Structure 1
């Protein structure tokens, strides 16, 4: 008999947790698992929900507007009773709160995946993070962190029990990436000069992604490498501010905002070096994708980034919020072709050996088996 897994997530927009949901659902053994996804909100139209339906995964929507509504928990419990899963696997804040409370009340083992290093210091966000941590601490059976640094962070700041936590690295489907494929046509479609050396960032356009510091680094880069061009792929509320910043630094003709793209394996081939100037990140999957596309990396030394990028091996690590270090790292890889090529090849091998999604699926499947056998 198939094992029934309920995957509960806040929404099914364009975020990393949402895309990882889709990637994993494509890989789980459907002969072994009966999979169902429940979204608690509509985010960006829930496009990932439509993709899940196309691959045959049932998707349901429960409208949970906030953490305070008195009918949230009864509605979720009623839904869970209807589908009677053997495991509840929660992703993101609302699901981590309500899914794990429901799990303990109903005697169903629950798993939560923590994708971020969220630890707000003040205001409403501070209390929301404390509520989420409390629910994980007291009600969740097992907590997955996506990096070792994230595991340590949540043990220290969220007071989660070490024996409750396990690190399972995010993986990617390596077959989707084609190292060495030409990106010339994509560059032309984006009006990037044919002779440009393209520095590429793919990220949500939010302040914590640190893209503002890379834009600030561009005048220094262009002074030594006039053919440098910065390609930014993604959308978000900070986008307009970043565009204004490019104008204020006089680099708007050397920066392209490509918006949201669904062809990331192809867009990666349009870049020569991948840059991630993030200020905080548990385990940025986009770095793994860049490595699978055989790109050398310049990234900030924060969170789980050093667990992906080994300094001087497959990329360069710089300090966060430091435009000068970003500029120096990019210029070094622009100038030193042999170093760049060696790092790109090393990154490809690391992606293949350490971050294949098949490893992630196997480990999560084994965890489900263990919890079904032994319960909460």
Structure 2
């Protein structure tokens, strides 16, 4: 039995989920250490089996799910989690959601376990639980870091560590053939899928110059499909290996209306595969997107999206410039090897975990 074990707590493990995707590549890169030492505890999800080969053990603790929370469930989760803690004696509990961070705080009382919380998104200041409840925090980008500082968090307790991915330079087409466009997210109104559909409709006959793909699922999928009837838009559902599929496409459209969520994982994944990015100016876009590495539109600006698509179709040199620029800029900050080393150093400092 290893001397230093690590608990990672996550709300759910889903196919279409930025946090889940980040954890998959992080655990995969940890290799044998993860297989020998990491116990992954999750509330459930449709991708749990995918993680079982990456870690020592996956434990499904339904009470961790924020979506089905209740006072009784929270208390039951504390009791069950404390039993796991006393059995495995982890050196660190690393939570990836504020709900699980609170559960870990109560479950580990008096046991001397160091707690880390990764903050993937800012949430409204409401509710009966602390939004930040750990010894050390990881902010995944600058706008989250700034939001945490505004919450009077001790700056010395916060580390900036981005979600890392593998970057792969690919050969992009230079011919005048039609461009392949993708958007990928949960299919809910906040993600702005209806804005992309409206942009396709505005293109009229020029829409046939492109092929449009929508990846993901969600409660508004039926409505979006209805809106896209008669248009060259294909819905492909959830994709288990989305980064691997992105290489097939030329352009990512990110039409989100987000006001509080973290930086969209799909943008990082698209940059890693050298896709040009068209995005709204969502909350926090300034932390990495700018007019040099992407094409930016206002929120709900379907005409702006349509215009950006036509510019990239007509000016292939400009398209390639955008593809290369976002790849190069994002690789500097999001390459998995760099973020992995930062996390390892934090684990060593906080819990004496070594490799």
The one of 38, 41, 48 equivalent to 1:38 is 41
Q: Distance in 1 between matches of 2:205 and 2:154?
A: 51
Whichever structure has more helix as a proportion of its residues is 1
Per the alignment, in what secondary structure is the counterpart of residue 93 of structure 2? strand
Deviates more, 1:283-292 or 1:56-65: 56-65
Cα separation, partners in 2 of 1:181 and 1:223, compared to 1, 3 Å: closer
- Matching residue of 1:170: 163
Contact conserved, 2:185 with 2:215, CA < 8 A, in 1? yes
Alignment of 1:74-223 (within 5 A): 74-119=79-124, 126-127=126-127, 131-133=129-131, 136=132, 139-156=133-150, 158-174=151-167, 177=168, 179-180=170-171, 196-222=178-204
Alignment of 1:206-355 (within 5 A): 206-222=188-204, 224=206, 226-247=208-229, 252-280=230-258, 281-311=261-291, 313-355=292-334
CA-based RMSD of the aligned residues comes to 2.5
Deviates more, 1:253-262 or 1:225-234: 225-234
Per the alignment, in what secondary structure is the counterpart of residue 290 of structure 2? coil
Q: Distance in 2 between matches of 1:4 and 1:362?
A: 18
Gaps of 5+ in 1: 121-125, 183-193
Gaps of 5+ in 2: none
Contact conserved, 1:10 with 1:93, CA < 8 A, in 2? no
Cα separation, partners in 2 of 1:63 and 1:234, compared to 1, 3 Å: closer
Contact conserved, 2:164 with 2:337, CA < 8 A, in 1? yes
Task: Report Cα offsets for 1:10-40 as digits up to 9, x if no partner.
Answer: 222222212221211111263597211111x
Per the alignment, in what secondary structure is the counterpart of residue 62 of structure 2? coil
Cα separation, partners in 2 of 1:83 and 1:283, compared to 1, 3 Å: same
Q: Distance in 1 between matches of 2:139 and 2:205?
A: 42
Q: Distance in 2 between matches of 1:240 and 1:159?
A: 43
Quote the offset at 1:82 in angstroms.
0.8
Cα separation, partners in 2 of 1:163 and 1:56, compared to 1, 3 Å: closer
Contact conserved, 2:257 with 2:280, CA < 8 A, in 1? yes
Cα separation, partners in 2 of 1:245 and 1:160, compared to 1, 3 Å: farther
Contact conserved, 1:288 with 1:308, CA < 8 A, in 2? no
Contact conserved, 1:287 with 1:308, CA < 8 A, in 2? no
Q: Distance in 2 between matches of 1:2 and 1:16?
A: 31
Cα separation, partners in 2 of 1:225 and 1:11, compared to 1, 3 Å: closer
Per the alignment, in what secondary structure is the counterpart of residue 170 of structure 2? coil
Quote the offset at 1:354 in angstroms.
1.8
Per the alignment, in what secondary structure is the counterpart of residue 37 of structure 2? strand
Contact conserved, 1:284 with 1:305, CA < 8 A, in 2? no
Contact conserved, 2:139 with 2:161, CA < 8 A, in 1? yes
- Matching residue of 2:56: 57
Q: Distance in 1 between matches of 2:172 and 2:314?
A: 22
Cα separation, partners in 2 of 1:342 and 1:8, compared to 1, 3 Å: same
TM-score (norm 2): 0.87
Cα separation, partners in 2 of 1:152 and 1:18, compared to 1, 3 Å: same
Per the alignment, in what secondary structure is the counterpart of residue 89 of structure 1? strand
TM-score (norm 1): 0.83
Quote the offset at 1:202 in angstroms.
1.5
Per the alignment, in what secondary structure is the counterpart of residue 106 of structure 1? coil
Task: Report Cα offsets for 1:327-371 as digits up to 9, x if no partner.
Answer: 222222122111111111112222332211111111111111111
Contact conserved, 1:300 with 1:319, CA < 8 A, in 2? yes
- Matching residue of 1:11: 12
Q: Distance in 2 between matches of 1:367 and 1:38?
A: 20
- Matching residue of 1:186: none
Task: Report Cα offsets for 1:122-151 as digits up to 9, x if no partner.
Answer: xxxx42xx5241xx2xx4101111111012
Aligned residues: 340
Quote the offset at 1:54 in angstroms.
1.9
Quote the offset at 1:324 in angstroms.
2.0
